[in-house]
């Protein structure tokens, strides 16, 4: 499949934390971006943030992504689809309240690719939750060949089912095309990130309780003392270097202790050229600077530091792959990935 170096990209759930960074880097690379949101008004903040790009950014409403043709209109004339939209409903009583929308939304994105002649690639954002076995004991190294078949948590199950459904749909479409002597017009790439932390550019109203899930959890770790073992104490130690508000880490904590959950990130390096990860200290510094820039009193910083997101540019790089790929992203030494 030829690389996609220019054109228009559809980003689903474009007003989300990760998606906003993806939009940013596509725009900076010269692409036009069409983002989907449930209501067009939800794109107003990013339209303001990226106003300098003029008509290269637009938003369209997709009220219900579980409909089979949910993204048909939104995908018209785009060259690629980056699917980030997925429900996070940890309070759901019925697991299907989270699993079914994740699966059907993912399949809707793939159906849009099959329906739209201009689309050549779909990139979906999965999760390390689709790989890691949280019940495993002892040291373990994870890679792209592994699946989480043991975790019954709703969020993890939604990621497993959604990604497997994506690969099944793609392989069936590829086999159908080959049976007629043709080559499938589009292909699939999946990025599998663990925790993603860092400053926000999507709309955050109010205090830290309105942050996205990963950043809210990290805030609870470093400022409320919700420590669940390594590597969380490492984040607390880093935060203490930049803010007097950081919660104290246990004096018995040994920062040199070995990480038991490790990631083989060779493919992230070889396939998409991801060779540099932000350190925990660098990430925490940027987050606290972001708090200060928003008028928060979590640190003594008075201005926002320069920071970069890595998931955005590497989602862009996935458009340049020559074949379908599942890429596990993460620092090879730890589960809680320090890039963003």
Q: What is the average per-residue pLDDT within 7-28? A: 97
Which pLDDT value is given to residue 134? 83
Tell me the pLDDT band of 66, cut-offs 50, 70 and 90.
very high
Asked if residue 197 belongs to a domain, the reply is: no
DSSP tag of 306? P
Asked if residue 262 belongs to a domain, the reply is: no
Whether 214 and 198 have beta carbons less than 8 Å apart is answered as no
Q: What is the average per-residue pLDDT within 291-317? A: 50
Q: What is the CA radius of gyration of the chain?
A: 20
- Give the pair of three-digit tokens for residue 75: 């995908």
In CATH, what number is assigned to the domain containing residue 322? 3.40.50.720
Q: Which pTM was predicted?
A: 0.87
Whether 331 and 324 have beta carbons less than 8 Å apart is answered as no
Asked if residue 266 belongs to a domain, the reply is: no
Segment among 31-40, 68-77, 272-281 with least mean pLDDT: 272-281
Whether 186 and 114 have beta carbons less than 8 Å apart is answered as yes
Number of domains forming the structure of the chain: 2
pLDDT of 331 > 80? The answer is no
Asked if residue 250 belongs to a domain, the reply is: yes
Bridge partners of 36, per DSSP, are 60
pLDDT of 290 > 70? The answer is yes
Asked if residue 339 belongs to a domain, the reply is: no
Residue 100 and residue 20 share a domain? yes
How crowded is the C-beta side of 101, counted as CA atoms within 13 Å?
16
Tell me the pLDDT band of 321, cut-offs 50, 70 and 90.
low
Whether 193 and 335 have beta carbons less than 8 Å apart is answered as no
DSSP H helical ranges for the chain = 17-28, 44-49, 96-115, 154-179, 213-224, 232-240, 266-272, 280-293, 311-317
What's CA 9's distance to the chain center, in Å?
Answer: 16
Asked if residue 37 belongs to a domain, the reply is: yes
Q: For the chain, give the mean pLDDT.
A: 85
DSSP tag of 185? S
Residue 33 and residue 121 share a domain? yes
Which pLDDT value is given to residue 330? 59
Which pLDDT value is given to residue 87? 78
Residue 296 and residue 184 share a domain? no
Q: What percentage of residues in the chain have a pLDDT greater than 90?
A: 56
Residue 185 and residue 138 share a domain? yes
Residue 228 and residue 97 share a domain? no
Residue 119 and residue 34 share a domain? yes
Residue 216 and residue 186 share a domain? no
Whether 83 and 40 have beta carbons less than 8 Å apart is answered as no
| Structural domain of 319 | 8-192+310-328
Q: What is the average per-residue pLDDT within 187-206? A: 91
Which pLDDT value is given to residue 334? 39
Residue 129 and residue 241 share a domain? no
Residue 303 and residue 163 share a domain? no
- Secondary-structure breakdown of the chain: helix, strand, coil percentages, each rounded to the nearest 5: 40, 10, 50
pLDDT of 133 > 60? The answer is yes
Q: What is the average per-residue pLDDT within 143-152? A: 88
Asked if residue 287 belongs to a domain, the reply is: yes
Residue 109 and residue 61 share a domain? yes
pLDDT of 333 > 60? The answer is no
Which pLDDT value is given to residue 147? 95
Residue 98 and residue 13 share a domain? yes
Please choose, from the candidates 207, 193, 214, the residue with its C-alpha nearest in 3D space to the C-alpha of residue 88. Answer: 214
Which pLDDT value is given to residue 78? 98
Tell me the pLDDT band of 329, cut-offs 50, 70 and 90.
low
Strands 32-37 and 57-61, bridge-based pairing? parallel
Asked if residue 56 belongs to a domain, the reply is: yes
171: which residues sit within 8 A by CB, 6+ positions away?
Answer: none
More confident residue, 310 or 37: 37
Q: Distance (Å, rounded) from C-alpha 326 to C-alpha 333?
A: 20
pLDDT of 305 > 60? The answer is no
Residue 235 and residue 132 share a domain? no
- Give the pair of three-digit tokens for residue 202: 């999507």
Please choose, from the candidates 15, 154, 12, 23, the residue with its C-alpha nearest in 3D space to the C-alpha of residue 85. Answer: 12
| Residue-by-residue DSSP string for 125-154 | E--GGGT--TT--S-EEE-TT----S---H
Please choose, from the candidates 209, 222, 205, 206, the residue with its C-alpha nearest in 3D space to the C-alpha of residue 283. Answer: 222
């Amino acid at each position: 499949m030829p690389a996609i170096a220019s054109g228009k990209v559809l980003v689903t759930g474009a007003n989300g934390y990760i998606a906003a960074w993806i939009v940013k880097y596509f725009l900076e690379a010269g692409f036009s971006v069409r983002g989907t949101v449930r209501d067009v008004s939800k794109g107003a903040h990013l339209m303001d943030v990226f106003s300098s790009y003029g008509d290269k950014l637009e938003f369209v409403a997709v009220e219900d992504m579980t409909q089979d043709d949910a993204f048909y209109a939104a995908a018209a004339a785009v060259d690629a689809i980056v699917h980030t939209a997925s429900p996070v409903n940890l309070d759901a009583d019925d697991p299907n309240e989270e699993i079914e929308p994740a699966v059907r939304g993912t399949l809707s994105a793939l159906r849009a690719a099959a329906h739209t002649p201009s689309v050549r690639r779909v990139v979906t954002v999965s999760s390390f939750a689709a790989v890691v076995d949280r019940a495993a004991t002892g040291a373990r190294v994870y890679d792209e060949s592994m699946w989480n078949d043991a975790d019954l948590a709703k969020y993890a199950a939604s990621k497993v089912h959604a990604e497997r459904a994506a690969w099944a749909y793609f392989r069936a479409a590829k086999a159908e095309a080959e049976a007629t002597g043709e080559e499938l017009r589009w292909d699939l790439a999946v990025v599998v990130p663990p925790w993603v932390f860092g400053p926000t550019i999507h709309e955050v109203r109010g205090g830290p309780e309105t942050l996205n899930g990963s950043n809210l959890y990290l805030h609870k770790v470093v400022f409320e003392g919700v420590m669940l073992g390594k590597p969380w104490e490492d984040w607390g130690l880093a935060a203490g270097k930049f803010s007097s508000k950081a919660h104290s880490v246990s004096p018995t904590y040994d920062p040199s202790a070995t990480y038991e959950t490790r990631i083989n990130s060779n493919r992230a390096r070889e396939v998409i050229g991801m060779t540099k990860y932000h350190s925990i200290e660098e990430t925490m510094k940027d987050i606290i600077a972001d708090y200060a820039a928003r008028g928060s009193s979590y640190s003594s910083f008075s201005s926002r530091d320069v920071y970069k997101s890595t998931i955005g540019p590497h989602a862009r790089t996935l458009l340049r792959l020559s074949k379908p790929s599942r890429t596990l992203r993460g620092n090879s030494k730890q589960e809680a990935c320090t890039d963003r």
